């Protein structure tokens, strides 16, 4: 029942709405960025009179504001808005706070035409409404803000997009303008450089150029068509994934894509997860729903027959395709899709083996991070919000035990973590692991979720040593999150330059001229016999052009053959990022490449 489908995109408006106007404490950097959002809003108000404002929160690395602007705004307009922001900031305007009664605030909304703010007021409890003013611009906001606008110096507007009001596509679509902001010029410049590099690595661009995958409205928004090159890399990932799981005592499953509506009632999804599920399907008078998660089916595999304590721990794993409703405005390449394949697993164990099983989940996760080239990662422990327990299933005692167990496993292994209040799944706390990519971005991959609730709901049991029934404990676990999203991360991490063991084409054979094609075919046959993936480029173009083409297509090895190579039974070797390695005996080249593949060497 993993919920590891995360994204680097900012959260949608439902959370922003609450965070923007609820009383809160912000760090100095968050306060700076939030103030920059209001500075941007004031600039837009001057440039586009009559603009109506939604929400403008700080986010990671910066800020944005959702606005109903009186004219269309594109990225070409951002320098003009940014220039106006700097002009206002230099005026050293004071951010002044004031309060209005609820009725007075509604009058203000009516007088200023701020209908979105009036809607916000309707959701705020009775009391005083907070406003902030700098210069001629007043905005309803809980704050806090910097004291003076002159403190807002190091920012850059970066993007424009559409965003439905409060994240609902039935509401008006607003213009969302993004910006980044930092405390120093050096931090801003470093971040902008990172953004340039991120654009170069964009998996959507590389996916097209390298023919890895396709997503189009014609075949369904958020639904991925894996092209041959991408499908081959996916196969390599899946084969490795299965090998690791089988070696660690997991049993593989395949489960259906739909299930009766009643099953999702029993699991709690209809009550707690319906907003992310597709509408029911009527089949001969019985309702079904597309599965958003695999766990009820794994529970079904466990319940197939009576279990004994001798069978536990029992580890089921599946590369299971699931479907979740994502609004069209949130879809983003492979990073947020509507149909995806989770590398899912569910473990059933006793209380005595629980800590060891949790530790085993961390072990296999760390192994995979190293193999795929992610040595650095961060860990979070997501727990229940003790002030809002109604949205979580299970007793206080169960939650206390589950949270303390996860914390102990991390502590015993010396793994530092951040405690995330209120971020648990509705049925149990979880460990989330986020890897750091080649340019310093953080991506969530692994989720390990402890569940004492589903075994009760499905009346799971095993016969213990005392010959009486006992309740197993259930662990929900995904390592890579989903194959789609992980593949997108992998593309950007390596900028499309995949390690040799993953590359769909490992070597490109380039004969200098037509006279040496026969020898090139001998080399090709020998390499294929050794299990290597090689393609012969015997086109009419000049050799330099063909070498350059192999470089652009990110083929790891370019092997050149001519008269000297044919006579000495060698090949001229060029390795991406290493350059010309000179002539090597064919057996030596094959041995080198096979060793690199077998070690699953990262770049």
584 within 8 A of 574, measured Cβ to Cβ: no
Which ranges of 66-114 does DSSP label H, i.e. alpha helix? Answer: 78-90, 102-112
Residue 295 among the catalytic residues: yes
| CATH topology for the 13-195 domain | 3.30.980
Helix (H) or strand (E) holding 549, with range, is helix 543-552
Residue ranges per structural domain of the chain: 13-195, 208-494, 507-598
Question: Is the backbone of residue 166 left (phi > 0), alpha (psi -120 to 50) or beta?
Answer: left
The CATH architecture that domain 208-494 belongs to is 2-Layer Sandwich (3.30)
Residue 528 among the catalytic residues: no
Which of 34, 58, 203, 295 is flagged as catalytic?
295
pTM of the complete model: 0.86
Q: Using CA atoms, how far apart are residues 443 and 433, in angstroms rounded to an integer?
A: 8
Residue 457 among the catalytic residues: no
Which of 344, 432, 451, 537 is flagged as catalytic?
344
515 within 8 A of 561, measured Cβ to Cβ: no
| pLDDT reported for residue 200 | 95
344 within 8 A of 279, measured Cβ to Cβ: no
User: Which residues of the chain fall short of a pLDDT of 70?
Assistant: 1-24, 603
| pLDDT reported for residue 24 | 58
Which of 342, 366, 444, 449 is flagged as catalytic?
342
Q: Using CA atoms, how far apart are residues 172 and 31, in angstroms rounded to an integer?
A: 28
3-state helix, strand, coil in the chain (%, to 5): 40, 25, 35
291 within 8 A of 450, measured Cβ to Cβ: no
Residue 272 among the catalytic residues: no
Which of 117, 384, 476, 508 is flagged as catalytic?
476
Burial class (CB in 10 A: 0-12, 13-18, 19+), 187: middle
Q: Which residues pair with 213 in a beta bridge?
A: 226
Contacts of residue 305, defined as CB under 8 A and 6 or more positions apart, other chains included, come to: none
| pLDDT reported for residue 6 | 28
Which of 34, 430, 434, 477 is flagged as catalytic?
430
Rounded (10°) CA dihedral 224, 229, 231, 235: -150
Residue 391 among the catalytic residues: no
Residue 342 among the catalytic residues: yes
CATH assignment of 507-598, given 3.40.309.10, 3.60.70.12, 3.30.420.340, 3.40.50.800? 3.40.50.800
| pLDDT reported for residue 13 | 34
Residue 217 among the catalytic residues: no
Contacts of residue 515, defined as CB under 8 A and 6 or more positions apart, other chains included, come to: 563
Torsion sign (Cα): 397, 478, 496, 601: positive
| pLDDT reported for residue 496 | 96
Which of 38, 307, 346, 384 is flagged as catalytic?
346
| pLDDT reported for residue 602 | 83
């Amino acid at each position: 029942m993993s919920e590891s489908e995360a994204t680097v995109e900012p959260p949608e408006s439902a959370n922003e709405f609450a965070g923007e106007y609820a009383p809160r404490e912000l760090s100095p950097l968050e306060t700076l960025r939030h103030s920059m959002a209001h500075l941007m809003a004031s600039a837009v108000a001057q440039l586009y009179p009559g603009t109506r404002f939604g929400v403008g929160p700080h986010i990671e690395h910066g800020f944005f504001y959702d606005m109903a602007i009186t004219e269309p705004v594109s990225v070409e307009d951002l320098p003009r808005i940014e220039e106006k922001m700097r002009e206002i900031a230099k005026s050293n305007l004071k951010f002044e706070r004031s309060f209005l009664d609820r009725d007075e605030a509604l009058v203000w909304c009516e007088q200023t035409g701020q209908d979105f703010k009036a809607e916000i007021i309707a959701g705020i409890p009775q009391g005083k409404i907070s406003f902030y003013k700098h210069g001629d611009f007043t905005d309803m906001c809980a704050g806090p803000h910097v004291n003076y606008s002159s403190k807002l110096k190091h920012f850059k507007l970066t993007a424009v997009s559409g965003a439905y009001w409060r994240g609902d596509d039935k509401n008006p679509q607003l213009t969302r303008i993004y910006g980044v902001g930092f405390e120093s010029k050096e931090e801003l410049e470093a971040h902008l450089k990172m953004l340039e590099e991120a654009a170069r690595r964009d998996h959507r661009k590389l996916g097209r150029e390298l023919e890895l995958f396709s997503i189009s409205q014609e075949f369904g928004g958020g639904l991925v068509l894996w092209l041959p090159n991408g499908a081959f890399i996916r196969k390599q990932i899946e084969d490795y994934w299965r090998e690791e799981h089988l070696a660690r005592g997991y049993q593989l499953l395949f489960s259906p894509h739909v299930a009766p509506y009643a099953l999702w009632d029993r699991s709690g999804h209809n009550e707690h997860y319906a907003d992310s599920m597709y509408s029911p399907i009527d089949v001969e008078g019985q309702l079904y729903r597309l599965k958003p998660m695999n766990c009820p089916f794994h529970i079904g595999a466990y319940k197939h027959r009576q279990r004994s304590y001798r069978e536990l721990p029992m580890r089921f794993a599946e590369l299971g395709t699931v479907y979740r409703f994502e609004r069209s405005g949130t879809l983003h390449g492979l990073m947020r899709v509507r149909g995806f394949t989770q590398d899912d697993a569910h473990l059933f164990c006793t209380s005595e083996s629980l800590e060891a099983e949790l530790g085993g989940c961390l072990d296999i996760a760390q192994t995979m991070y190293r193999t795929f080239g992610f040595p650095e990662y961060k860990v979070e422990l997501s727990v229940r919000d003790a002030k809002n327990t109604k949205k979580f299933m299970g007793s206080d005692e169960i939650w206390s035990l589950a949270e303390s167990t996860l914390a102990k496993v991390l502590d015993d292994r010396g793994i530092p973590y951040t405690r995330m209040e209120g971020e648990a799944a509705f049925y149990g706390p979880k460990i989330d692991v986020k890897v750091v990519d080649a340019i310093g971005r953080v991506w969530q991959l692994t989720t390990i979720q402890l569940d004492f609730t589903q075994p009760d709901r499905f009346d799971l049991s095993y016969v213990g040593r005392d010959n009486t029934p006992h309740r197993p404990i259930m662990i929900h676990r995904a390592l890579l999150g989903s194959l789609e999203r992980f593949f997108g991360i992998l593309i950007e991490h390596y900028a499309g330059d995949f390690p040799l063991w993953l590359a769909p084409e490992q070597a490109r054979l380039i004969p200098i001229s037509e006279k040496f094609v026969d020898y090139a075919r001998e080399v090709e046959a020998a390499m294929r016999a050794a299990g290597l993936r090689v393609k012969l480029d015997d086109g009419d173009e000049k050799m330099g052009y063909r070498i350059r083409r192999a470089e652009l297509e990110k083929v790891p090895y370019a092997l050149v053959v001519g008269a000297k190579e044919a006579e000495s039974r060698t090949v001229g070797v060029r390795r991406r990022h290493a350059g010309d390695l000179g002539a090597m005996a064919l057996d030596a080249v094959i041995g080198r490449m096979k060793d690199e593949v077998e070690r699953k060497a990262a770049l």
